[in-house]
Structure 1
Amino acid sequence: MPKPENHASPSDRRSAIVVGGGVIGTTTALVLQRAGWTVTLIEAEDTPRAASWGNAGHIATEQAEPIASPAMVRCFAKRLFFRGGALALPPREIATWLPFSLRLLKAARPARYERAHEALAGLLAQAMPAWQRHVTALGAPDLLRPDGHIVLWETAESAAHGLANWQAADTGTARFRPLTEVELDDWRTRVRSPIAGGIRFEGSGQIADPTRLAETTTARFLADGGTRIVARVEAVGDGEVRLTDDRRLTADQIVVTAGVASAALLRPFGLKAPIIAERGYHLQTGPDVDWPADLPPVVFEDRSMIVTRFAGGLRAASIVEFARAEARPDPAKWNRLRHHIAALGLPIGKDAEPWMGARPTLPDYLPAIGRVPGTRGVSYAFGHNHLGLTLAPITGELVAGMLHGGETAVPMTPFGLARFG
């Protein structure tokens, strides 16, 4: 997607405030800056621990089908955490997850699902090219490893079932092939559990290291003249942001990219964003680990767990837990991860660092990207669920195009909050 041309002189450059310092916010701030805007980025924490930086690092171009689907509804019960699955619905959080789950079921109805599927597939088709443009502009092309990923199964039954599911699925621009017997034997020597089958994806990828991505993005943003403020935002108005310390900042455009917190900031404008904190957990070793640095991410699909080698260590990630963002982490989730790690014989020991973060998720599993109606200068980009990292650069480009008033790479209507009434 071509970047909007910048015809402004330094004295009349337009200004923007981006509220939220996750991967969507930082990337959007940098894309706007490259398009000629004077940008201020507001982050809530000096050292962010959002899901943006604690994810599996996977560029998931193959996930062209929204999770809110008829297929998901059919297998919902067997995915529950207490039955050994990765979907956790804590009883103490029922007031949070029950209303969201009912909306999810409505979004999974065939007609709504097909519309969401078409919109998401179109967006994901732009994801990898946008990432390639982004890391090139950062001057760090090695941050992106477009080497695909691997899916493994541990029983003949799950291998046959899993392969059939992927063959029937829309994998967007990604493609896969069965692993050869030589490749399977290599995995059988690498992990303790028996490996019955697997596939290798092409067209997907990973970030070499999320921490380095965050540091590189912030450094480039500041070096190119951006302003970064660590503060909490109390409210957003038309062209104005009010901080909790009563400071007021003004700009031509305000872009809300605050994840789960975005819903409350947009509520005064009459917008509904039925968002939930879809919490994920991981365990990660340090950099000295016996796992080849060139292996792509590997999904142990029977366990709903993905293992990724970063420059900073080996990370095992799993769990979909619907709860309030501020609810205390559940140690049982890390214990489940430790059980899987031990069963597979992965080199992730007891000293692995635990982490929990909240993915901002909307019921139809589409992000929210659009303008606030009735305002001159407020827009939003949040709610990317499992695909925040995957869709960050294309989201930044869409926001820049939208604010510039030109054409965008995909139609924007499906992502507007008007879809929730």
Structure 2
Amino acid sequence: MDKNIKVGIIGAGIQGISNALFLQKKGFNVTIFDRDNPGAQAASYGNAGHFSPYASVPLNRPDVLADIPAMLLSSTGPLALKWNYVPKMIPWFLKFIMNSTKKNMMHTAKNMHQILDLALPAYDELFDEIELDGLVENKGILYIWNDKDLKSRELEIKVRDELGVNQQLVNKSEIHDLEPHIKPIYHAGVYYPYARHARNPKKILLKLFDLFIKKGGKFNKVNIQEINFDEEKPIFKTENQSFIFDKAVIACGAFSKKLTDNMGEKIPLDTERGYHVHFKNCDHLLQRPVIFSNRGFGITPMEQGLRVVGTVEFGGLENPLSKSRIRNLIDNAKYMLDDLPEHEDEWLGFRPSLPDFLPVMGPSKNYKNIFYCFGHHHLGWTLGPISGKIVSGMIANENTNLDLKPYSSLRFS
């Protein structure tokens, strides 16, 4: 391969950095651009820290539609709307509803499973080159529930069984043995023994970023406002600079839509706003991430304390943080665990979500030298390296035995 092929990547989160590292392995010359430093307060910093290779069942499914009104009305529920944003979301919601058939749910589940199955080995390829220093724990991930909404639980278990996902159903006493500090709010659960979690996602991201720099990568802290073209070569424009590349990757999560719109491609990308708070000095209360399915929140033991994450709020990129969503997380954490101190670190981040809950990976519709890698909704952290590996393979024109068509942006045109 021509070692001098220059690739520009927009986005310094887990997607952008993973793309960069796999492109470097193939001999490309790579520059990453972001308006913030890597590890800034964006999604790759604030996520739940789960490596969840089992999570193939999407949000768009028949049982969820029936539950949405109740979720919206419940203050402890996982879903909220910013009413000023509802008119903008209507086209997205209509597409979401159309995707919530059993057939479409299975299409998404099958194509998520295809890449999730490869997610941990792709991480290990990158982890082999850095010192992890105990930042990843292999203790599995535990989901618990009470005896409400059991139809949804049964559906998830059944679909994962059909796909061949390794899952262990656990009863009350087994849950208690795994996590003795949880209050007895549960009736049953499922344990994914091979899942992992990050003790500090930001530190892992920065170690991968340092590896990228050490291998000759370059980073520019600037805001790319638009992409122009010189013949077919992409030109990144800031307010007063421009940078020309042979190929480019758009990997800036929920912020990618501005650029794809700018290139004349209407991709229905929107944002699910996610929140977290920390309870400091009590990460000893849990051994592993625990998710309470009925309320759609989870708690991960991290270096920063217990990180309580969850809730989906539809409200776009401009609305301020909702105190009611923070309150919701605090109340939920106290519902699960006793003796929690005052919470700290209120955080809001943006999950880039498409109405069929599949990511967009592959060449742009109108420009063959532009590649997309965004829209990984709740699984951006899990899918970073495998997505980078797949997109770098496309850029290098390699053959693959994966079916990559389902991830193409052409499905929206």
TM-score by length of 2: 0.91
Task: Identify the range of structure 1 (224-233 vs 258-267) with the bigger mean alpha-carbon deviation.
Answer: 258-267
Q: What corresponds to 1:67 in structure 2?
A: 59
Q: What corresponds to 2:114 in structure 1?
A: 122
Q: What corresponds to 1:261 in structure 2?
A: 255
Partner of residue 225 from structure 2, selected from 215, 234, 237: 234
Q: What corresponds to 1:164 in structure 2?
A: 154
Q: What corresponds to 1:95 in structure 2?
A: 87
Amino acid at match of 1:285: F
Residue pair 2:60, 2:99 contacting (<8 A) in 1 also: yes
Partner of residue 291 from structure 1, selected from 284, 287, 290: 284
Distance in structure 2 (CA, Å) of the matches to 1:419 and 1:250: 29
Q: What corresponds to 1:326 in structure 2?
A: 318
Residue pair 1:253, 1:377 contacting (<8 A) in 2 also: yes
Residue pair 1:299, 1:307 contacting (<8 A) in 2 also: yes
Residue pair 2:44, 2:205 contacting (<8 A) in 1 also: no
SS at match of 1:78: helix
Residues 134 and 143 (structure 1), Cα distance of their counterparts in 2 relative to 1, 3 Å cut: farther
Q: What corresponds to 1:246 in structure 2?
A: 240
Amino acid at match of 2:295: R
- How many residues are treated as equivalent by the alignment? 408
Distance in structure 2 (CA, Å) of the matches to 1:182 and 1:338: 26
Q: What corresponds to 1:109 in structure 2?
A: 101
Matching of residue 349 in structure 1 with residue 341 in structure 2: yes
Amino acid at match of 1:197: A
Residues 285 and 241 (structure 1), Cα distance of their counterparts in 2 relative to 1, 3 Å cut: farther
SS at match of 1:190: coil
Q: Deviations over 1:328-357 (max 9, x none)?
A: 111000011111122223554324211110
Q: How far did residue 45 of structure 1 move?
A: 0.9
Q: What corresponds to 1:337 in structure 2?
A: 329
Q: How far did residue 71 of structure 1 move?
A: 2.5
Distance in structure 2 (CA, Å) of the matches to 1:58 and 1:188: 17
Q: Deviations over 1:205-257 (max 9, x none)?
A: 22232021121011111111111111101111343333333211111111111
Residues 100 and 193 (structure 1), Cα distance of their counterparts in 2 relative to 1, 3 Å cut: same
Residues 367 and 185 (structure 1), Cα distance of their counterparts in 2 relative to 1, 3 Å cut: closer
Alignment of 1:6-405 (within 5 A): 7-8=1-2, 12-46=3-37, 48-80=40-72, 82=74, 84-140=76-132, 142-153=134-145, 155=146, 157-158=147-148, 164-170=154-160, 172=163, 174-179=165-170, 182-186=173-177, 189-238=180-229, 239-286=233-280, 288-289=281-282, 291=284, 295-346=287-338, 348-405=340-397
Residue pair 1:208, 1:311 contacting (<8 A) in 2 also: yes
Distance in structure 2 (CA, Å) of the matches to 1:347 and 1:187: 19
Q: How far did residue 94 of structure 1 move?
A: 1.1
Amino acid at match of 2:279: T
Distance in structure 2 (CA, Å) of the matches to 1:122 and 1:173: 11
Gaps of 5+ in 1: 1-6
Q: 4+ residue stretches of structure 1 with deviation over 6 A?
A: none
Gaps of 5+ in 2: none
Distance in structure 1 (CA, Å) of the matches to 2:77 and 2:157: 23
Distance in structure 2 (CA, Å) of the matches to 1:194 and 1:109: 32
Q: How far did residue 182 of structure 1 move?
A: 4.6
SS at match of 1:379: strand
Q: What corresponds to 1:419 in structure 2?
A: 411
TM-score by length of 1: 0.90
Residue pair 1:272, 1:417 contacting (<8 A) in 2 also: no
SS at match of 1:326: coil
SS at match of 1:158: coil
SS at match of 1:363: coil
SS at match of 2:129: helix
Residues 83 and 133 (structure 1), Cα distance of their counterparts in 2 relative to 1, 3 Å cut: same
Residue pair 2:181, 2:285 contacting (<8 A) in 1 also: no
Q: Deviations over 1:35-78 (max 9, x none)?
A: 21111000111252111221111112222122212222232223
Residues 374 and 180 (structure 1), Cα distance of their counterparts in 2 relative to 1, 3 Å cut: closer
SS at match of 1:138: coil
Distance in structure 1 (CA, Å) of the matches to 2:200 and 2:43: 14
Distance in structure 1 (CA, Å) of the matches to 2:340 and 2:35: 31
SS at match of 2:284: coil
Task: Identify the range of structure 1 (157-166 vs 191-200) with the bigger mean alpha-carbon deviation.
Answer: 157-166
Residue pair 1:87, 1:319 contacting (<8 A) in 2 also: yes
Residues 163 and 374 (structure 1), Cα distance of their counterparts in 2 relative to 1, 3 Å cut: closer
Distance in structure 2 (CA, Å) of the matches to 1:309 and 1:134: 23
Distance in structure 2 (CA, Å) of the matches to 1:25 and 1:281: 22
Task: Identify the range of structure 1 (322-331 vs 372-381) with the bigger mean alpha-carbon deviation.
Answer: 372-381
For the aligned residues, what is the CA RMSD?
2.3
